[in-house]
Amino acid sequence: MANGANRVDLDGKPIKPITICMIGAGGFIGSHLCEKLMTETPHKVLALDVYNDKIKHLLEPDTVEWSGRIQFHRINIKHDSRLEGLIKMADLVINLAAICTPADYNTRPLDTIYSNFIDALPVVKYCSENNKRLIHFSTCEVYGKTIGSFLPKDHPLREDPAFYVLKEDISPCIFGSIEKQRWSYACAKQLIERLVYAEGAENGLEFTIVRPFNWIGPRMDFIPGIDGPSEGVPRVLACFSNNLLRREPLKLVDGGESQRTFIYIKDAIEAVLLMIENPERANGHIFNVGNPNNEVTVRQLAEMMTEVYAKVSGEGAIESPTVDVSSKEFYGEGYDDSDKRIPDMTIINRQLGWNPKTSLWDLLESTLTYQHKTYAEAVKKATSKPVAS
């Protein structure tokens, strides 16, 4: 059996089975983490979320070897008195709950701030009061803009990694002005990080903070009008997938000049499992989890995705595969962006010996194959014109 009893941690000590209270278990990251915990470890999961569509396949009773090791609790952590009781039943709490789509930061700044700061407060408080270890999911957005982005366009120091590589223990968090509401998310996420850190310093909370850098893979976000609101705007990868499925041009916001790094969800989940099972090495640390080798501009990403999708779908690309739009037109007033996001990997490498493996091409191929398989038919049905009788 894959989750055999002889598993050891990085220091060669046997890994004891634990109970994990996972908040936001029904989301993209949660579903992959639950899958990994069920198939490869003996741990038990209390899965908390409002929806369970993405983990339904793990909850089938009696049909799988891990039935009984995962329990779903339908809970909105905003106002549910059961939350503390469930945290008390666990050894470790993982908080993944968040509003985390840039289109919302601008149009729903209050929800964004509440969901990422206010709603996370009781989770931190209950962990601290009940001496439970916490793995809190933050975001690479807390870094904001790079120092280099404030230099003149052609300044040679813009090419110097010291001015753009993001380090957990050194890089400052630089946000735009208050009227740029896009930073409502990053600011809420930074404040909850500071609170978690302060609980550690003052009250001895055992914590690990994770800063994901664009985790990509199957079950990410939603396709508007199919398994999400038709007027919804998911993150860049699902946005582009949606355009490809509908054979529409991919919209490049402000020319697609921003640079991003992308990491395959399965690589990232390996890192999270190492944090779960090596508390002595992970406690008190903030970890970047990304793939610095997979850096592209959003324009290059659009070109690669067009090429990969043509390959996996067997359909040629459309005549004009991309179209430029302004951020104001796409996201509305108050949008702002960070120029580059490249994670420094020193700390995670030193503490957990972890490195990502999957190339950008391979992760796009795997993700787009899934998107095509899952959605192509539904999109065709939704877009086909009803024939007049």
For residues 154 and 149, give the distance between their C-alpha atoms in angstroms, rounded to a whole number. 11
Give pLDDT, residue 141. Answer: 92
pLDDT reading at 5 higher than 70: no
Domain-embedded: residue 206: yes
Mean pLDDT, the chain, integer: 89
pLDDT of residue 242: 86
In a domain, 281, yes or no: yes
User: Of residues 78 and 362, which shows the higher confidence score?
Assistant: 362
Quote the pLDDT of residue 61.
Answer: 72
Q: Is residue 190 part of a domain?
A: yes
30, part of any domain: no
Please report which confidence band the pLDDT of residue 118 belongs to, taking 50, 70 and 90 as the band edges. Answer: very high
Is 89 within the bounds of a domain?
A: no
- Please check the confidence at residue 233 and state whether its pLDDT lies above 80: no
- pLDDT tens profile 260-291: 899 999 999 999 999 999 999 999 999 999 99
138: CATH: 3.40.50.720
Domain count, the chain: 1
Kindly state the tokens that stand for 145.
Answer: 């803009």
The answer to whether 257 and 297 are in contact (CB under 8 A) is: yes
pLDDT for the residue numbered 229? 61
When pLDDT is averaged across residues 219-238 and rounded to a whole number, the result is 71
Quickly state the pLDDT bin for 353 (edges 50, 70, 90). Answer: very high
Query: From the CA atom positions of the chain, what is the Rg in Å?
Result: 21
CA distance 175 to 179: 11
**What's the pLDDT score for residue 98?**
85
Q: What is the pTM of this model?
A: 0.91
Residue 185 bears catalytic tag: yes
The half-sphere exposure of 254 on its side-chain side, counting CA atoms within 13 A, is 13
Distance between CA atoms of 337 and 126, rounded to whole angstroms? 34
Is residue 155 assigned to a domain? yes
Position 21 in a domain: no
Catalytic residue among 164, 185, 309, 331: 185
Q: pLDDT, tens digit, for every residue of 180-203?
A: 888 999 999 999 999 999 999 999
Answer whether residue 239 shows pLDDT above 70.
yes
Place of tokens 């996420």: 189
* pLDDT higher than threshold 50 for residue 1: no
Question: What span, in angstroms and rounded, lies between the C-alpha atoms of 315 and 293?
Answer: 29
Q: Is the pLDDT of residue 354 over 90?
A: yes
Looking at residue 95, its pLDDT comes to: 98
Q: What is the pLDDT of residue 194?
A: 98
Domain that holds residue 163: 98-377
Q: Average pLDDT for residues 224-248, to the nearest whole number?
A: 77
Predicted local distance difference test score (pLDDT) of residue 331? 62
**Is 133 a domain residue?**
yes
Residue 293: DSSP 8-state:
T
Q: Residues 358-373: what's their mean pLDDT?
A: 94
